[in-house]
Structure 1
Amino acid sequence: MKRASLNFLAVAGLSLGLFAFGSIKEGGIQGKVTPAEGVKEVVAVAGTDTLRSQISNGAFMFSNVKKGNYTVWVKANAPYKDASVENVAVTDSATTDLGEIKLQQ
């Protein structure tokens, strides 16, 4: 009986440990570029990591982003100018919303 209890505790402890690590999710970055026709590409950079996002009506979303500080570059179509947002902090299990990024001519 004592051995069965120890086995149960060991399995329960292992299961809880795996569940705890399995629930940690990577973060994300989202925002919207206006005017929508002015944006060509949105890129997030941290160190040597470069991420590219799909753009839909000016809206973009980076998912499964490792935690850290990123610079988000908006590559613009002429006559608009490129824009950037620096020090974008990403944490586990959270999406950082940059709101609206307005392109200048």
Structure 2
Amino acid sequence: MKKISVRLFFITGLLFSLSAFTMIKTGSIQGKLMPADGAIEVMAINGADTLRLNAVNGSFIFKNIKTGTYTLLAKAKPPYQDIVVKDVAVIDSTTTDVGTLKFQQ
């Protein structure tokens, strides 16, 4: 009887730990850069976490990122200036569209 109780305890603990992994909340950020050839890369920054990607044809999408508030940084090629967008909210199971970001010279 004691062995059954111990096994049941471990199985219950395992099930709770597995369910914790499925509870990670994620969302997405998408947008466009104009002119499309003006971008080097786009970064999404949340605290110590920095995600980077290349903007393909001026479009970008950060998929399945942790929920929270991000700062976007679009690094520009000369003669353009970098773009910074603060307080971009990522909500669970939602895509946040920041629209079209235009590089200035």
TM-score, with length taken from structure 1: 0.76
User: Structure 1 runs of 4+ off > 3 angstroms?
Assistant: 21-25
The match for 2:7 is none
Is the counterpart of residue 91 in structure 1 residue 91 in structure 2? yes
Question: Cα offset for 1:70?
Answer: 0.3
Q: CA RMSD in A?
A: 1.7
Identity %: 54
Q: In structure 2, how many angstroms separate the alpha carbons of the residues matched to 1:69 and 1:103?
A: 23
Q: How many residues align?
A: 87
1:52 is aligned to 2:43: no
Please give the alpha-carbon distance, in whole angstroms, between the structure 1 residues aligned to 2:48 and 2:24. Answer: 23
**1:7 alignment partner in structure 2:** none
For residues 1-105 of structure 1, what are the structure 2 equivalents within 5 Å?
A: 22=22, 25-105=25-105
Q: Cα distance, 1:32 vs. partner?
A: 0.1
Unaligned runs of 5+ in 2: 1-14
**Cα displacement (A) at 1:53:** 2.1
47 and 23 in structure 1: CA distance in 2 versus 1, 3 angstrom threshold: closer
